[in-house]
Amino acid sequence: MDNKVVTRFPPSPTGLLQMGNIRTALYNYLFSRQNSGKFIVRIEDTDKERSKKEYEKAIFSDLKWLGLEYDGEVLKSSDRTEIYKKKLHELIEKGFAYISQETEGENREVVRFKNPGGEIKFQDLIRGEVTMDVSDLKDFIIARNINDPIYHLAVCVDDLASGITHVIRGEDHISNTPRQILIIEALGGVRPIYAHIPLILAQDKSKLSKRKHGETASLKYYIDKGYLSEAIINFLALIGWNPGGEQEIFTLDELIKEFDFSKVQKGGGILNIEKLDWLNKEHMKRMPQEEIEKSILAHLPEGMQDKTIARRLVPIIFDRISKWADVKEMAEKEELDFFFKPPAIDKAKLIYKKTAPEKITKNLHLAIQALENISENNFTAEDIKNSLMTIADSLENRGELLHPVRYALSGADKSPDPFLIAATIGKNETLSRLKKAI
RNA sequence: GGCCUCAUCGUCUAACGGUUAGGACAACGGGUUUUCAAUCCGUUAAUCGGAGUUCGAUUCUCCGUGAGGUCACCA
């Protein structure tokens, strides 16, 4: 048992990485790190038509963003055509495969694998023993022509070349496994240990895919929305696996320590964005204050960013977001505008419930008086609150004072409390807005 | 349709023969100084159905049912 664990992540650069891909990569990563093994990345571009350089680049930038570091050289199918060709010849010479003359299709001379038929059994770390009859596969194609292998051949050759010990992949590959076992053994190799992990599903319970579910299937969407990589990793790890305790927040290191195939779920799991949002916020709360501030300011529209008020706004915004893109959204929905410029006031909305208008006016005057007594240096939310609450408490209803003040300052139905707004916009602006409201 | 896989609250899941079936997200209700947010407390909510094995089944077996995956010269 000197076999060091070697896992791999072999995406094909035919599109953006999907959330399912990411979780597969993650499990491979966790397992290899847990066993002090290797985690290899391989680019499977055997489909020349659909493979694109830009997607290949995106794969590496996604991996980097996630912080999943891989070991060794990156194998690329398109660099290995000579090796495949050699292996193909070998298979043909040994009688495991043959060149078949086709009457249909573009390629006249495809290479087919001589299917021995019968049952193939393999052990799966998650599902136990899986049995499949390969007879109905017939003599399946392993190369478009002698120079041009398809996926199944390339995977087997490459896995063998890299000494892959564990093939951890999505359940959608489970029916590919028997034929790959056939190829591996024909190549004289030893089959790896398999683990077919359950699929990540969309709301409709079908496999999450770009084709069917749009951009929310790809990691890019979540990066663009400003989710934290720690949250994405934590979230994805917990779809289909759970260490059993009641802990919900995990760091990568904790996941490496805890990960266990015997606790991987068998059924597919639906990607639940509400839970992601919650997890993301939990991870955000664990960030250093300066970084939170930096991120929030960076996501504010340019006109707001450099104002001193923006800095004071940070905690107010932070309480109301679950991901960075929410900052922008708040600004776009004009929920922040009143901090920067006086709002338009609708007289009727100044009234608290059925309080008489005269009373509202009187209370506003009271508020102004009280606030004028606070020095500009002490114009903090706390002092404003103390001062205003003294008056509010003497009233029949606190809302008779608090509501009109809040509305006069914000012009909004929903906003942070009046003390916070006042402290943020400053004494002069506060008094000016209150006077205007009167 | 063939083959394969799966099945606990709406969702992610815990309980690997004995629990009032637990937690988290969401939802709902309430407190916390007026609204929003945050926070605290609480409530609702699940073992797909039927046989068996067993003193006892969420858990083991079988049969249904349902769901998903896969059936390419894509990966």
- What are the extents of the domains in chain A? 210-285, 289-340, 347-437
Percent of chain A with pLDDT over 90: 93
The nucleotide whose C1' lies nearest the CA of A418 is: B34
Q: How far is the CA of A360 from the C1' of B28 (A)?
A: 35
Instruction: Decide: residue A249, CB within 10 A, 0-12 exposed, 13-18 middle, 19+ buried.
Output: middle
The reported pLDDT for the residue numbered A105 is 78
The reported pLDDT for the residue numbered A389 is 94
The nucleotide whose C1' lies nearest the CA of A11 is: B75
A130 touches strand B (CB under 7 A): yes
Q: Is the pLDDT of residue A2 over 60?
A: no
Q: How far is the CA of A247 from the C1' of B42 (A)?
A: 22
A59 touches strand B (CB under 7 A): no
User: Are the beta carbons of A229 and A279 closer than 8 angstroms?
Assistant: no
The reported pLDDT for the residue numbered A354 is 84
As given in the structure block, the two tokens for residue A275 are 């839970």
The reported pLDDT for the residue numbered A1 is 45
CATH number of A347-437: 1.10.10.350
Q: How far is the CA of A132 from the C1' of B46 (A)?
A: 34
Among A55, A183, A176, A193, CA closest to A122: A193
Dihedral angle over CA of A147, A148, A151, A152, nearest 10: -40
| Alpha helix stretches (DSSP H) within A243-307 | 252-258, 273-285, 289-299, 302-305
The reported pLDDT for the residue numbered A305 is 78
The nucleotide whose C1' lies nearest the CA of A46 is: B75
Q: How far is the CA of A116 from the C1' of B52 (A)?
A: 39
The reported pLDDT for the residue numbered A104 is 82
A267 touches strand B (CB under 7 A): yes
A269 touches strand B (CB under 7 A): yes
A278 touches strand B (CB under 7 A): yes
The reported pLDDT for the residue numbered A375 is 92
DSSP 8-state class, residue A428: H
Q: How far is the CA of A407 from the C1' of B17 (A)?
A: 63
Quick one: which H or E segment has residue A409? helix A399-410
pLDDT average, residue stretch A289-294:
95
Tally of residues, chain A = 438
Query: Which of residues 64 to 93 on A have a Cβ less than 7 angstroms from any strand B atom?
Result: none
Name the 3-class secondary structure at A195: strand
Helix A325-332 with A289-299: angle, nearest 10 deg = 40
pLDDT average, residue stretch A14-30:
97
pLDDT (tens digit, 9 = 90+) per residue, A154-168? 999 999 999 999 999
Q: How far is the CA of A58 from the C1' of B9 (A)?
A: 39
pLDDT (tens digit, 9 = 90+) per residue, A175-195? 999 999 999 999 999 999 999
Residue A38 amino acid letter: K
Residue A237 amino acid letter: A
Dihedral angle over CA of A199, A201, A207, A211, nearest 10: -130
pLDDT average, residue stretch A316-345:
95
Q: Is domain A210-285 annotated with CATH 1.10.1160.10?
A: yes
DSSP 8-state class, residue A305: H
- Around Cβ A303, how many Cβ atoms within 10 Å? 10
DSSP string for A329-343: HHHHTTSSHHHHSPP
Same fold, A210-285 and A347-437: no
**Strand B: which bases are under 7 Å from protein Cβ?**
2-8, 10-16, 22-26, 33-38, 67-75
The reported pLDDT for the residue numbered A306 is 72
Dist CA A309 CA A303 (whole Å): 12
* CA distances to A19, A92, A101, A151, A281 from A88, in Å: 34, 6, 16, 13, 52
Q: What residue has its CA nearest to the C1' of B22?
A: A246
User: Are the beta carbons of A48 and A78 closer than 8 angstroms?
Assistant: yes
User: Are the beta carbons of A391 and A419 closer than 8 angstroms?
Assistant: no
Dist CA A24 CA A7 (whole Å): 11
pLDDT average, residue stretch A269-285:
97
Query: Which of residues 12 to 31 on A have a Cβ less than 7 angstroms from any strand B atom?
Result: 12, 14
pLDDT average, residue stretch A88-104:
94
| Report field, pTM of the whole predicted structure over 0.90 | yes
Q: Is the pLDDT of residue A63 over 80?
A: yes
Query: Which of residues 343 to 362 on A have a Cβ less than 7 angstroms from any strand B atom?
Result: 352
The nucleotide whose C1' lies nearest the CA of A266 is: B6
Query: Which of residues 246 to 265 on A have a Cβ less than 7 angstroms from any strand B atom?
Result: 246, 248, 262-263, 265
A150 touches strand B (CB under 7 A): yes
Q: How far is the CA of A373 from the C1' of B39 (A)?
A: 32
Q: How far is the CA of A281 from the C1' of B59 (A)?
A: 36
Dist CA A94 CA A124 (whole Å): 29
Residue A426 amino acid letter: G
Average of per-residue pLDDT values in chain A: 95
